[in-house]
Amino acid sequence: MDTSRGSKVLGSIDLESPAKISPSSHRITKLSRPKLSQNKTIKYFQSISKRRLTQTKPLTKGSYLPYDKRELVKRINTLKYNNWNVNSKKLTPLLIARYGWEGSNKMNELKCCCCSARLLIKIPDELMNNDNEDNEVIFDKLCDKYIDELKAGHKDNCPWLKQVTPMNVYEINNSKELGVVKELYEFNSKQIKNDDIEVVDVLTQDQVGVIRRWCEQNGLVYGNIFQCSLFGWRIEKIGSKIMLKSESCGRRVFIEDNVQVNLIEEHHEWCCYVEGYKNLIKMMGNVENNSDENTVENTLQRLDKLRKLYFE
């Protein structure tokens, strides 16, 4: 029900100064202040405006921004080794975060960022180390059950029940992501030298050609540091150790001396960079053709969803 429309109607009637109502209209002037407050319609809207205030109160705790990638990634990063140890291909931190949940300070307990609902994922130890096929089947079914709860486990007035974060918000499909590569490169090139890290060759010659040209146009130096940045890794030095960190999937990797690192395989399987780097290279080869048309189309789609969410 659209309660906001109701409060607007109420707001347009000036209860304090009945003198402003034209004296020529007897019908209106007869409606004195006490009578107005007894009016059924006004009473109705007054009651729902009060109800609305009390209902929205718990939601102010969290932010409901289903189309915001940064918020999604923040929720993903709340699930760490010390509060999440479910190793499922289905029940992933990405899925959990897309449905509005994040990690809590209790092992395998999720909480909604808006309605504060909590969901404890209980999986018996013998199923966690799924070394036999029967166990794997049961583990999968249990995860499916919890995925249903991710969808339905919010409180009644929680907006996540209506619209979750669509997958394309997470995917790398927007030319703004080239800016992220540049930022990562700026940061990473201050941490180490190209020779400090060895990487497995995962790019084709054609891809390397496109990347080199783009780097030249943008005044960047193609090398191992650039590759780390292209694959979404932030490089940090911890003492004498080098650590790679993916903010998109939360993976952390310590680099061992003389060991080549595979910049794709080190991500979680569901990380947006596993496939997304190919889109980045396409965008590098085709920056001019990355017309505004797609962006306008995306925006219209989002507006349409918001319209349905709030006005239908």
Q: Which residues bind Zn ion (CB under 5 A)?
A: 112, 114-115, 117, 154, 158, 160, 246, 248-249, 267, 271
Closest distance of CB 74 from Zn ion, Å: 15
Of the two residues 140 and 270, which places its CB atom closer to Zn ion in the complex?
270
Could you tell me the two tokens for 205?
A: 């010659």
Closest distance of CB 89 from Zn ion, Å: 15
50 phi/psi in degrees, rounded to 5? -70, -45
Of the two residues 13 and 243, which places its CB atom closer to Zn ion in the complex?
243
Could you tell me the two tokens for 279?
A: 């889109």
Closest distance of CB 135 from Zn ion, Å: 28
Of the two residues 222 and 270, which places its CB atom closer to Zn ion in the complex?
270
DSSP 267-311: S-TT-HHHHHHHHHHHHHHTTTTS-HHHHHHHHHHHHHHHHHHHH
Of the two residues 46 and 270, which places its CB atom closer to Zn ion in the complex?
270
Residues in contact with 105: Cβ distance below 8 Å, sequence separation at least 6, in sequence order: 83
Of the two residues 127 and 181, which places its CB atom closer to Zn ion in the complex?
181
Could you tell me the two tokens for 97?
A: 């975060």
Closest distance of CB 302 from Zn ion, Å: 21
Q: What is the largest CA-CA distance in the chain?
A: 93
Closest distance of CB 75 from Zn ion, Å: 12
CB-CB contact of 136 with 142 (8 Å)? no
Q: Amino acid identity of 308? A: K
SS3 of 175, please?
Answer: coil
